[in-house]
Amino acid sequence: MSVSRMTGLCWAVALAAFAFCMPEAQAQSSGFYKGKTLTLIVGYPAGSAYVTYAQLAQRHIARFLPGKPKVTIKFMPGAGSLIAANYLADVAPKDGTTIATLGRGTAVEPLFRGDKSRAKFDPRKLVWLGSLNSEVSLLVAWHNTGIETFDDTLNKTLLVAIGSVHGDAGVFARTVNSIMGTKFKIICCFHGSAAQNLAMERGEVGARMNYSWSALKRQHGDWLKDKKVQLLAQFAANKHPELANVPLVADLVKDPEDRKILDIVLARQAMGRPYAAPPGIGAARAKTLRTAFDRMVKDADFLADAGKRRIEINDPLSGEKVNALLERVYKVSDATKAKLRAALETKGRDDLLMKYKRKKKKKKKKQ
């Protein structure tokens, strides 16, 4: 065969290979998402800080996805976002057109509850895209409760509002009652943070256990200005720089084994506003979504929009770091798991009151 014919044959093979690969290359560059809708599921009701963050992501993430899809939010509240998580894992399309923002504690719910867990999936197998914020949550008491420091909760009963038994606030409250001896009466189940705030203003409860610092500043800066709430403790891995005089709850724990339990409980705070896609979407689609998320959280326009709306973006995590965090937490010993689950047991407790309902005013009879 002549050199020229061999060269021509090589070019033909190369062109054929290029043509064969073109559809996938085009799908990645010009856009799998072109003309499609990306559904962003939110596992909480309107008024929640998770919704505020989701609306921020909704406005920006399409710019970083090939094809720039339309982004719509679908509310799926309930069970501390576990309903949304089960849907994402088992029902949602596995093609990259559905993602969700879930409660930060959802990823450790199976670890905490074992055989009693209502999670129908292994959280480590979700495709975690990342987290918009490392969360600092607060125990706040209303100004007229007589509770001024965390130490006061060791001696005085305080009614604390929570949204669900196995959500963050419920977990935090049962943990500190069990290992620290606090005297919280845990009142469940309020539908969203707005309902908890209203109950506190009306005197139906005296405190909130898991009030995000970023949300408190944004939603009720007036409470801070007028000293309507006492900031008793931070539930976080590290102190927020703006809260130097508010103690970390972990620093108040004396027993090393109890401190270990609390460290596991608080690990979720690092993934404060997490986003995930279903398992099984494929490596290429997972990379596309993760890359878009990473680019978004570093984008100047995104950060400016967040600042304008007083939405805190504090030490966001990549999807890979979320997965690494979960792998570390799930490696705890069986003995530690048993002690953790005992601290969080719900049966036979006299500190947990279910389905609190605000008393309705009697209607006046018409004359």
Residues 109 and 148 in one domain: no
pLDDT digit string (tens) for 161-172? 998 888 889 999
Residues 250 and 153 in one domain: yes
Residues 208 and 113 in one domain: no
* Chain center to CA of 237: 15
Contact criterion met (CB below 8 Å) for 188 and 212: no
Residues 347 and 221 in one domain: yes
In this prediction, residue 356 carries a pLDDT of: 54
Residues 126 and 71 in one domain: yes
pTM above 0.85, yes or no: no
* Phi, psi (degrees; rounded to nearest 5) at 272: -65, -35
CA 76, 79, 83, 84 dihedral sign is positive
How big is the CA angle at 301 (ends 57 and 325), to the nearest 5 degrees?
A: 50
Residue ranges of the chain with pLDDT lower than 70?
A: 1-30, 355-367
Expressed in angstroms, the distance from the first to the final Cα of the chain is: 110
Residues 49 and 121 in one domain: yes
The span from the CA of 134 to the CA of 98, in Å, is 23
The span from the CA of 299 to the CA of 296, in Å, is 5
**Residues of the domain holding 227:** 137-268+343-353
Please classify residue 277 by burial: count the beta carbons closer than 10 Å to its beta carbon, then call 0-12 exposed, 13-18 middle and 19+ buried.
buried
Q: 49 in a domain, yes or no?
A: yes
What total of structural domains would you count in the chain?
2
pLDDT digit string (tens) for 121-150? 999 999 999 999 999 999 999 999 999 999
CB atoms within 10 A of CB 168: 26
In this prediction, residue 70 carries a pLDDT of: 98
Q: 361 in a domain, yes or no?
A: no
Residues 103 and 208 in one domain: no
Residues 233 and 247 in one domain: yes
CA 65, 66, 70, 74 dihedral sign is negative
Please classify residue 226 by burial: count the beta carbons closer than 10 Å to its beta carbon, then call 0-12 exposed, 13-18 middle and 19+ buried.
exposed
